[in-house]
Amino acid sequence: MSVFSSGGRPRALAIAVGSATVLASGILTALHAQSLHHSPASSHPATMNTASIAPLIETQNAFAAVASQVTPAVVSIHIEGTRPASQRMQMPDMPDLRQFGFPDMGIPFGGQRGGKPADQVVHASGSGFIVSKDGLILTNNHVVADANKVTVILSDRREFDAKVVGRDPTTDVAVIKIDGEDLPTVPLGNDETARVGDWVLAIGNPLGLDFTVTQGIVSAKGRGGLAGLYDSPYAVVDFIQTDAPINPGNSGGPLVNVRGEVVGMNAAIASPTGTYAGYGFAIPVTLVQDVMNQIVKYGHVRRGVLGLQLAEVTQKDALSDKLAQGGVPQIRGALVAEFPKDVSSPAKAAGITKGDIIVNANGHDIDHVATLQRVIRSQRPGDVVSLTLIRQGTERTVQVKLAEAPAEESPKVAAR
């Protein structure tokens, strides 16, 4: 995806905007000085009551404390690698900013070799966070997927060579390791207790601006259906949405609550340009932690799957499937859309059919596809899951023995 158009015009525009800001600042300063010189003392605003701004100062101090506590455990990740010409692409979170005079930010590039496209040489950057004092680091899979060499830089400017311990494309989580002792760490929290409206901070290295802190709120939970973000039918898509500004280079960095605990790993943005446009997405820390534990213990991730593709339930679906007659008055659940064509489906074998609406899994009411994913992702291959579904106004309960998701799939938004 090309984020900025090529040529000199965008650069000239960017410089012009910057210059205009400086000029405007100078004019405002001059006018302000002039007004102070000529205005009578009686026109000065009254001194603000300290008590009235105390809550603002308390909030400001809380943000500063969290930033100071967490930033030392955040790292800047730089990779060198190659990508086959057949997989040539512009990483969605790493736009080419060299034309604007920015440093190399994670831009895959390559030329022609003998008239044929050459493999791309990749120089990319992203973020991560340290979770063990001996150097275990969490980041996004897409940050290190093409890496031949990984370099980690700490906020105190120390540099380490890192190795990739393991990565999982279906969740976009990777674990890397540096050799260190008594390194700063950040605690992992619980995204399930995070509420829409809670304050959060995003910390990372956007656009080459290392160790930047931005603030916002949790603006939604259980966000799925981000079409085109992943390529695998076995991807787990259950994002925390935030309006804390994140940009290319933030990928893999932590989203933390006001207690300084990680509630998510920043992974993607919704934007027509490839830079911040109001909405960012973080992988829930409970999922990140589960993937990390499996990678550290087994070297890979084993995931149970139902063997079906799901869609969100619409009003039309609810009416056609007589959801209310089945005892579910709200429009909710996960609609069975398709079954995989190339592999067997445990769900189909258990009697689930296309058009069924799954409304409960293992005792958990299902409101969205992401909710069902959250239940299934905690299970392992061979586990039996109890699903309650509505089919033409009739409630049914089936037991499904989960199959194992194929290893090393490329990510794609789809539900299981």
155 included as an active-site residue: no
Architecture of domain 304-404: Roll (2.30)
CA distance 307 to 193: 29
The predicted-structure confidence for 155-202, as pLDDT tens digits, reads as follows 999 999 999 999 998 899 999 999 999 999 999 999 999 999 999 999
pLDDT over 90 percentage in the chain: 56
Measured from the Cβ of residue 196, the count of other Cβ atoms closer than 10 Å reads 11
Q: Are strands 106-109 and 120-130 parallel, antiparallel or unpaired?
A: antiparallel
CA distance 334 to 313: 6
- 74-177 CATH fold: Thrombin, subunit H (2.40.10)
Q: Catalytic residue among 93, 96, 168, 172, which?
A: 172
Superfamily of domain 191-298: Trypsin-like serine proteases (2.40.10.10)
142 included as an active-site residue: yes
Q: Catalytic residue among 125, 127, 219, 251, which?
A: 251
Q: Catalytic residue among 76, 93, 96, 142, which?
A: 142
CA distance 312 to 370: 9
Look at the chain and count its residues. Answer: 416
Q: Name the 3-class secondary structure at 64.
A: helix
CATH 2.30.42.10, the chain: domain bounds: 304-404
Tokens for 25, please give them: 């600042």
367 included as an active-site residue: no
CATH 2.40.10.10, the chain: domain bounds: 74-177, 191-298
End-to-end CA distance of the chain: 28
The predicted-structure confidence for 388-402, as pLDDT tens digits, reads as follows 999 999 999 999 999
With cut-offs at 50, 70 and 90, classify the pLDDT of residue 213: very high
CA distance 14 to 98: 13
Q: Which residues of 199-214 are buried (b: 16+ CB within 10 A; e: fewer)?
A: bbbbbbbbbbebbbbb
